Chains A and B, each alone.
Chain A
Amino acid sequence: MTIEEKQDQIISEFEFLEDWLDKYQLIIDKGMANKGIDDEYKTDEFLIEGCQSKVWVHAEYKNGFVFYQGESNTDIAGGIVSMLVDILTGHTPTEILDAELYFIDQIGLKEHLSPTRSNGMLAMVKQMRMYALAFKAQYED
C-alpha cells in the first residue's frame, strides 16, 4: 500500500465515530496494540523532545526502505506514534519526505488533541522525517 492508501484506511476507521470518546478509544486501542520499540532504543538518545508524554522512535534502513519503531509511556501518544509508524514504515526515504500527512487533520487529531500533545505529534513527525532525510543523504544521494 502507498502512504496515501494507508492514510485513507485510517481515515475510514475514524470516519464513522462521531463521539470524541470513541475516537479516543480507537487511538488508545492502537496504543495498546502497538508492538513497541526494542529495549535498546528506549533510551534518552531516542526520546523525542517536545512531547508531554515520553515517546521513543527509532528507524532502520534496509534494502532501500525505512523501518520505524515507536513507543510511548502513555497510551494516547502510543496510539498516535503507532499510526505514524504503520503509515511510514516500508517506504523509501524519498517517499516519506514527499508524503503529505493529511490524515492528522482529517481524523481531527491536530484540532482536538491538546496543544502540548499536538506539538508532541508534530515533534514525532519531524523526528521521523529527520531519519528519512539522514538515510536519503547516506544511501540515495
Chain B
Amino acid sequence: MAIDIEKIRQDFPILKKEIYGKHLVYLDNAATTQKPRCVVDTIVNGYYDCNANIHRGVHFLSQQATEAHESARKTVQQFIHAQHAHEIIFTRGTTEAINLVAHSFGISQCNDGDEIIISQMEHHSNIVPWQLLQQIRNIRLRVLPFDKKGVLQIDQLENLINEKTKLIAIAHVSNTLGSINPVKQIVQIAHSHNIPVLVDGAQSTPHTPIDVQDLDVDFFAFSGHKIYGPTGIGVLYGKEKWLEAIPPYQGGGEMIQKVSFEKTTFNELPFKFEAGTPDYIGSTALATALNYVSEIGIDNIAHYEHELLQYATNKLSQIEGIRFIGESEHKSGLISFLVGNIHPYDMGTILDKLGIAVRTGHHCAEPVMKAFDIEGTVRASFALYNTTEEIDILAAGIERVAKMFRR
C-alpha cells in the first residue's frame, strides 16, 4: 500500500511552520519526531476529561484512567508482539529502561569480575548505566567493534564471550551510523551460551516491525517521543522470567504489596517496576501514537523510509567533497555526513538559516566519533512525513553552504 504523504503531513501541524521565513524542513527525527494531532488531542482530552490517579481509586474517573493506562499497556504489547502485557514496563524512556536493567539485573545477577558486552556504536545511554554499575560491582565492559563502514564485527562476538559474560546490551540501530544490527543472530549466539540480551530499540521501533518473541530478546527498550508519542514516556519489555528474577529499581507507591517498618513485600508484575504515580496520560498518548503508526502500517513506513534513504543517499552522494559516516548495506533512515573540511556546527548553523533542521555534533556517541577520528557529523534523519522534495532542499542547502566555505 502506498502512503499518502500529503494526507499524513496534514496530521502534523508543526510541519506548516516557517523558520526565518523559510518552510521548515525537519530532518532531526532520530532526536525526536513531531506529534500528530491525535496524540496531542489524547493528552489534552486526558487531562480535561479523564484525569484521576490510577489503580487504587474506587471512583469512576480513577477506574476510567486506570483502564486507559492498562489498555495502553496492551497496545504496546501487541505493537512489539510481547507474550504478556505484564512484560511491558512503562518508563520515562529508553535511557531509564536501560538504567533499570543495569541496576536491577546488575546488582542481582552480576558479581565482581563478571563481564557485560556492549558495542562500539552504542549511544551513551547504553554505556554510562553500565559504568554506574561498575561503581557497585567490579564488572568489566567488553566492546564489540565495528568496521570502517560501520558494520558490527559479529564474527568477533564469540571471542568476547566467556564464562564471566552476564549480559549483551546492544543497539538495534545505531543513532549515528544508521547501521541495522543483526539482533536475531546476536541473540542466537548469546543464548547458545545462556547469556541474555538487552536491545536498545530507540532507533528501530519507529522504523521497522518489532517482534520481541521472534527476536527472542530478553529485554527491549524504546522511547515514546521517537515514535510520534509524547516525551517522558518509554517502555522496557522484559521476559517474564527475568522481570520476576530481578529486584525493583525504585521504591514507592504502586510497586508494593504490603509495607511495614519491618518488611515490605513487592507487588506483582508489571507494578513492581512502576514506583510512584505513573505517567498515565503519557502512556495513553503513546498508545495513540502506536495506533497511528499501525493504521498506516509499520511495514509501509519501513518501505517508504527506505525509499527516502536511497533517494537521499543518491542525491547527497553527488555533492562534491561529501563523505558519509556509516555505509552499512543495512541502514535505517538516517545519513551522517561531512563535507570537505566544513565543521558540522558551521554546516548546521547555516542550514538552520535555510529552515533545515539537522543535528550536529557527536550525537551522544563519542566512541563512534573517536573510531572515525572526527569531532562530529551532520545528521539528517527521516520520518514518515518527510518527502523527496525536502531531500532536494537539503541537498541544495548543503551545496549552498559548501559554496560559502569554499577556500
Give A contacts to B, CB under 8 Å: 20-21, 24-25, 28, 32, 52-53, 73-77, 113-114, 117
Contacts and interface: CB of A to CB of B under 8 A. Distances in A.
Contacts of A20: 20, 353
Given A53-B343, A74-B343, A75-B343, A21 B349 contact: no
A107 to B, nearest CB: 15
Contacts of B352: 114
Contacts of B349: 24, 76, 113-114, 117
**How big is the B interface, by class?**
10 to 19
B147 interface: no
14 contacts: A20-B20, A20-B353, A21-B350, A21-B353, A21-B400, A21-B404, A28-B404, A32-B407, A53-B343, A75-B342, A76-B345, A77-B345, A113-B349, A117-B349
Given A24-B404, A74-B345, A75-B346, 11 more contacts: A21-B350, A21-B353, A28-B404, A28-B405, A32-B405, A52-B361, A53-B343, A53-B345, A75-B342, A76-B346, A114-B352
B18 interface: no
B375 interface: yes
A75 B349 CA distance: 11
Interface string B179-216: 00000000000000000000000000000000000000
A52 B346 CA distance: 11
Interface string B333-350: 000000000110110011
Contacts of A52: 345, 361
A24 B343 contact: no
Nearest to A72: B343
B346 A28 contact: yes
Contacts of B361: 52
B86 to A, nearest CB: 43
A24 B351 CA distance: 12
B404 A73 contact: no
B405 A24 contact: no
Contacts of B342: 75
Contacts of B375: 73
Nearest to B344: A74
A20 B349 CA distance: 11
B256 to A, nearest CB: 44
Interface of B: 20, 342-343, 345-346, 349-350, 352-354, 361, 375, 400, 404-405, 407
Nearest to B375: A73
B346 A74 contact: yes
Contacts of A28: 346, 404-405
Contacts of A53: 343, 345
Contacts of A73: 343, 375
B360 to A, nearest CB: 9
Contacts of B20: 20
A57 to B, nearest CB: 18
A34 to B, nearest CB: 13
Q: Which of B20, B345, B361 has the most CB of A within 10 A?
A: B345
A36 to B, nearest CB: 14
A53 B346 CA distance: 9
A113 to B, nearest CB: 8
A75 B353 contact: no
Nearest to B348: A114
Contacts of B353: 20-21, 24
A46 B167 CA distance: 43
Contacts of A25: 404
Contacts of A117: 345, 349
A20 to B, nearest CB: 5
B343 to A, nearest CB: 4
Q: Which of A20, A52, A75, A117 has the most CB of B within 10 A?
A: A75
